[in-house]
Amino acid sequence: MAEEAQEDGATRTLPSLRRLSRALPFGRTHGRLGISSSGRPIVSALCSQESADPQQTALLLRKAWTLYSVTPLYRFRRARLRDYARLLSAFIAAEKQKGLAVEVGVELDIKVALSSLADLRGSELDQAALLVQLSSRSRASSRNSEDKLVWSGWFCSVFGDDLSENLPEDFTSLPLFLSHGAESYTSLVGSWFQKTFDCCFRRLAISPQNLSWMVAMWAGCKLDRAAAAVELVFSVPRLSQPLDISYAIHPEDAKALWDTVQKTPGEITQEEVDVFMDCLYAHFHRHFKIHLSAAKLVKVSTAVASAHCDGIVKILQSQYLPGMLMLLTELAISQIQ
Amino acid sequence: MQRTRGSRIPKQPRHADQTSQTDLSAWRKGGRVDSEKSLQNQQSVDNDQKYDSQEGSLEEALSYLEEIQDDAALKKNSVLQKHLDAVESTALKQGLPPEVFETLLNVALSGKFADTVNTRILKSLIPASVVPESSVVTAVSWLCVGQCSGNVQLLFLKWLITVFDLIDQKEQLNALYGFFFSFLQDEKVCPYVCHLLYLLTRKENVKPFRIRRLLDLQAKMGVQSHLQALLSLYKLFCPEQVSITLPGKTKKWNAQLVIPASSSNTSNLEEAGEENSVCLYSTDVSLPVEQLQTFPQLLQNIHRLEFPAQMGSVLTSPLLLHYMNCAQEESIYLRLYYWMGQMLQEECTWCVVDNPNEEEFKSFLETIYKAECFLQEGFSACEEFLYKTLPLWDGFCCRSEILRLVSWIPLSSFSDIKSYLYDPLAQLFFTSSIYFKCSVLECLKELLQNWLNCNVIQVDSEFSSSSTTLSGLVNMVAELVHFVGWISTVALRLENNSTFLLYFILNFYGTVCDMYLKYNLPLLIMPPAGVFYPALLSMDSVNLNKLCHIMYRYRTNLVAAKENELSKKNILQFKFSNQTYQEYNQYIIAMVGCLWTSSAFQKDIHPQGLCMDDKLLRKTAVKELKNSFNIVYHPAMMGYSVQFLQQIRPDDVTFNFKSIKGKKWDWYLEYLYSQGLKGLKVFIESSISRVSQASRSKAGNVET
User: ipTM of this model?
Assistant: 0.84
Q: Read off the pLDDT of each residue in A160-169 and give the average, rounded to a whole number.
A: 88
- Nearest by CB: B309 against A83, A91, A195: A195
- pLDDT greater at residue B699 or residue A265: A265
Listed in sequence order, the DSSP H helices in B279-408 are 295-301, 318-326, 330-347, 358-375, 380-389, 399-406
pLDDT score, position B150: 87
Task: Mark yes or no for CB contact A33/B227 under 8 Å.
Answer: no
Q: Read off the pLDDT of each residue in A199-213 and give the average, rounded to a whole number.
A: 94
Contact A303, A223 (CB under 8 A): yes
B157 CB neighbour count, 10 Å cutoff: 19
A285 inside domain: yes
A136 to chain B, closest Cα gap in Å: 19
Chain A residues close to B261, C-beta within 8 Å: none
- Rg over alpha carbons for chain B, rounded to the nearest Å, is 39
Contact B421, B409 (CB under 8 A): yes
Mean pLDDT of chain B: 82
pLDDT score, position B690: 62
Q: Look at residues B184, B245, B214 and name the one whose alpha carbon lies nearest to residue A100.
A: B245
A131 inside domain: yes
Contact A329, A159 (CB under 8 A): yes
Q: Dump pLDDT digits (tens) for B116-139.
A: 888 999 999 999 999 999 999 999
A78, A225: one domain: no
Distance CA A183, CA A191 (A): 12
| pTM metric for this prediction | 0.80
Q: Look at residues A294, A286, A282, A299 and name the one whose alpha carbon lies nearest to residue A230.
A: A299
Distance CA B483, CA B558 (A): 22
A245, A271: one domain: yes
Task: Label the pairing between strands A296-301 and A305-308.
Answer: antiparallel
Distances (CA, A) of B463 to A40, B17, B454: 40, 62, 11
Q: Dump pLDDT digits (tens) for B65-114.
A: 877 766 555 666 778 888 888 889 889 999 999 999 999 999 889 888 88
The percentage of residues in chain B with a pLDDT greater than 90, rounded to a whole number, is: 47
Residue of A nearest to B307 (CA): A198
B529 CB neighbour count, 10 Å cutoff: 20
Contact A158, A320 (CB under 8 A): no
Task: Mark yes or no for CB contact A198/B310 under 8 Å.
Answer: yes
B234 to chain A, closest Cα gap in Å: 10
Q: Dump pLDDT digits (tens) for A295-335.
A: 999 999 999 999 999 999 999 988 888 888 999 999 999 99
Distance CA B585, CA B579 (A): 10
Chain B residues close to A207, C-beta within 8 Å: none
Q: How many domains does chain A contain in total? A: 2
A78, A178: one domain: yes
pLDDT score, position B160: 94
Q: Read off the pLDDT of each residue in B442-461 and give the average, rounded to a whole number.
A: 84
Distance CA B144, CA B109 (A): 11
Contacts of B540 (CB under 8 A, 6+ apart): B499, B502, B636
Q: Dump pLDDT digits (tens) for B363-422.
A: 999 999 999 999 998 999 999 999 999 999 999 899 999 999 999 998 876 668 888 999
pLDDT score, position B48: 45
Would the CA dihedral through B123, B128, B129, B133 be positive or negative?
Answer: negative
A310 touches chain B (CB under 8 A): no
In this structure, what are the phi and psi dihedrals at residue A291, rounded to the nearest 5 degrees?
-85, 100
Chain B residues close to A4, C-beta within 8 Å: none
Distance CA B189, CA B226 (A): 11
Task: Mark yes or no for CB contact A98/B246 under 8 Å.
Answer: yes
A235 touches chain B (CB under 8 A): no
The percentage of residues in chain A with a pLDDT greater than 70, rounded to a whole number, is: 82
pLDDT score, position B47: 45
Contacts of A331 (CB under 8 A, 6+ apart): A39, A41, A69, A204, A206, A210
Distance CA A210, CA B18 (A): 89
Q: Read off the pLDDT of each residue in A176-190 and give the average, rounded to a whole number.
A: 95
Residue B469: band (very low, low, confident or very high) from pLDDT cuts 50, 70, 90: confident
A128, A62: one domain: yes
B83 CB neighbour count, 10 Å cutoff: 20
Chain A residues close to B335, C-beta within 8 Å: 74, 198
CB pairs under 8 A between A and B: 136
pLDDT score, position B371: 94
A100 to chain B, closest Cα gap in Å: 6
Task: Mark yes or no for CB contact B243/A91 under 8 Å.
Answer: yes
Chain B residues close to A99, C-beta within 8 Å: 223, 228, 244-247
Q: Dump pLDDT digits (tens) for A98-135.
A: 888 888 888 888 999 999 988 888 888 899 999 999 99
Range of the domain at A225: 208-309
Would the CA dihedral through B649, B654, B655, B657 be positive or negative?
Answer: negative
Reduced to 3 states, what is the DSSP secondary structure of residue B122? helix
Chain A residues close to B351, C-beta within 8 Å: none
- DSSP letter string over B478-499? HHHHHHHHHHHHHHHHHTTS-H
Distance CA A71, CA A204 (A): 12
pLDDT score, position A209: 93
- pLDDT greater at residue B461 or residue B638: B638
Contact A158, A326 (CB under 8 A): yes
Looking at residue B528, the DSSP 8-state letter turns out to be P
A127 to chain B, closest Cα gap in Å: 19
Q: Is the pLDDT of residue A12 over 50?
A: no
Interface mutation vs chain A, best among B245, B380, B385, most A CBs within 10 Å: B245
Residue of B nearest to A86 (CA): B240
pLDDT score, position A71: 95
Distance CA B452, CA B516 (A): 10
Contact B263, B289 (CB under 8 A): yes
Interface mutation vs chain B, best among A74, A78, A198, most B CBs within 10 Å: A198
A190 to chain B, closest Cα gap in Å: 7
Chain A residues close to B215, C-beta within 8 Å: 101-103
Distance CA B490, CA A64 (A): 56
Residue type at B371 in one-letter notation: A
B160 to chain A, closest Cα gap in Å: 27
Distances (CA, A) of B368 to B251, B267, B444, B627: 20, 27, 18, 54
The percentage of residues in chain B with a pLDDT greater than 70, rounded to a whole number, is: 82
Domain spans of chain B, in order of start:
78-242, 307-348+356-386, 631-703
A72, A199: one domain: yes
pLDDT score, position B237: 86
B274 to chain A, closest Cα gap in Å: 10
Q: Is the pLDDT of residue B544 over 90?
A: yes
pLDDT score, position A330: 93
Distances (CA, A) of B132 to B26, B65, B173, B403, B582: 17, 20, 11, 57, 81
- DSSP letter string over B407-435? TTPPP---TTHIIIIIHHHHHHHHHS-HH
pLDDT score, position A44: 42
Chain B residues close to A95, C-beta within 8 Å: 245
Chain A residues close to B249, C-beta within 8 Å: none
Poorest-pLDDT segment among A284-298, B510-524, B592-606 = B592-606
Distance CA A333, CA A335 (A): 5
Task: Mark yes or no for CB contact B254/A190 under 8 Å.
Answer: yes
pLDDT score, position B110: 86
Task: Mark yes or no for CB contact B310/A194 under 8 Å.
Answer: yes
pLDDT score, position B70: 62
Contact A261, A276 (CB under 8 A): yes
B13-17, B484-488, B606-610, range with greatest mean pLDDT = B484-488
pLDDT score, position B69: 67
pLDDT score, position B56: 57
A171 touches chain B (CB under 8 A): yes
Task: Mark yes or no for CB contact A194/B254 under 8 Å.
Answer: yes
A28 inside domain: no
First and final C-alpha spacing in chain A: 13
Would the CA dihedral through B497, B503, B504, B508 be positive or negative?
Answer: positive
Distance CA A270, CA A117 (A): 33
Residue type at B416 in one-letter notation: D
Distance CA A163, CA B334 (A): 12
A336 inside domain: no
- pLDDT greater at residue A133 or residue B604: A133
Contact A44, A268 (CB under 8 A): yes
Chain A residues close to B269, C-beta within 8 Å: 80, 83, 87
Distances (CA, A) of B498 to B491, B539, B594: 9, 10, 21
Q: Which of residues 53-112 of A touch B (CB under 8 A)?
A: 68, 71-72, 74-77, 80, 83, 87, 90-91, 93-95, 98-105
pLDDT score, position B704: 36
Q: Dump pLDDT digits (tens) for B268-317.
A: 555 444 444 444 444 456 788 888 889 998 998 888 888 888 999 999 88
Residue of A nearest to B338 (CA): A71
Question: Looking at chain A, how many residues does it have?
Answer: 337
Q: Which of residues 112-131 of A touch B (CB under 8 A)?
A: none
- DSSP letter string over B71-102? ---TTT-HHHHHHHHHHHHHHHHT-B-GGGHH
pLDDT score, position A206: 95
Residue of A nearest to B392 (CA): A2
Q: Read off the pLDDT of each residue in A37-64 and give the average, rounded to a whole number.
A: 61
| Residue that is last in its domain, among A176, A203, A230 | A203
Task: Mark yes or no for CB contact B223/A99 under 8 Å.
Answer: yes
A92, A225: one domain: no
pLDDT score, position A111: 92
- Rg over alpha carbons for chain A, rounded to the nearest Å, is 21
Chain A residues close to B306, C-beta within 8 Å: none
pLDDT score, position B269: 54
Q: Read off the pLDDT of each residue in B624-635 and give the average, rounded to a whole number.
A: 88
The burial of B278, by beta-carbon neighbours within 10 Å (0-12 exposed, 13-18 middle, 19 or more buried), is given as exposed
Task: Mark yes or no for CB contact B420/A93 under 8 Å.
Answer: no
Q: Is the pLDDT of residue B567 over 80?
A: no
Listed in sequence order, the DSSP H helices in B32-77 are 34-42, 44-67
Q: Look at residues B282, B279, B281, B304 and name the one whose alpha carbon lies nearest to residue B291.
A: B304
Would the CA dihedral through A292, A295, A296, A299 be positive or negative?
Answer: negative
In this structure, what are the phi and psi dihedrals at residue A247, rounded to the nearest 5 degrees?
-125, 105
Task: Mark yes or no for CB contact B387/A33 under 8 Å.
Answer: yes
| Residue that is last in its domain, among A203, A236, A260 | A203
B350 CB neighbour count, 10 Å cutoff: 16
- Nearest by CB: A197 against B247, B266, B346: B266
A276 touches chain B (CB under 8 A): no
Taking phi first (over 0 means left), then psi (-120 to 50 degrees means alpha), and beta for anything else, what does residue B6 get? Answer: beta
A303 to chain B, closest Cα gap in Å: 33
A293, A161: one domain: no
Half-sphere exposure of B411 (CA within 13 A, CB side): 33
A261, A217: one domain: yes
Q: Read off the pLDDT of each residue in B32-53 and give the average, rounded to a whole number.
A: 44
Chain B residues close to A203, C-beta within 8 Å: 254
Tally DSSP H helices, then E strands, for chain A.
Answer: 9, 14
Distance CA A195, CA A175 (A): 17
B435 CB neighbour count, 10 Å cutoff: 11
Residue of B nearest to A187 (CA): B253
Tally DSSP H helices, then E strands, for chain B.
Answer: 34, 1
- Nearest by CB: A198 against B212, B246, B311: B311
Distances (CA, A) of B580 to B445, B482, B510, B700: 21, 13, 17, 20
Chain B residues close to A83, C-beta within 8 Å: 240, 269
pLDDT score, position B59: 82
A113 to chain B, closest Cα gap in Å: 17
| Residue that is last in its domain, among A169, A203, A237 | A203
Distance CA B309, CA B256 (A): 14
**Bridge-partner residues for A111, per DSSP?**
A135
First and final C-alpha spacing in chain B: 100
Q: Which of residues 11-40 of A touch B (CB under 8 A)?
A: 30, 32-35
A156 to chain B, closest Cα gap in Å: 18
Would the CA dihedral through A42, A46, A52, A53 be positive or negative?
Answer: positive
Q: Look at residues B390, B396, B391 and name the one whose alpha carbon lies nearest to residue B433.
A: B396
A170, A228: one domain: no
Q: Read off the pLDDT of each residue in A279-293 and give the average, rounded to a whole number.
A: 94
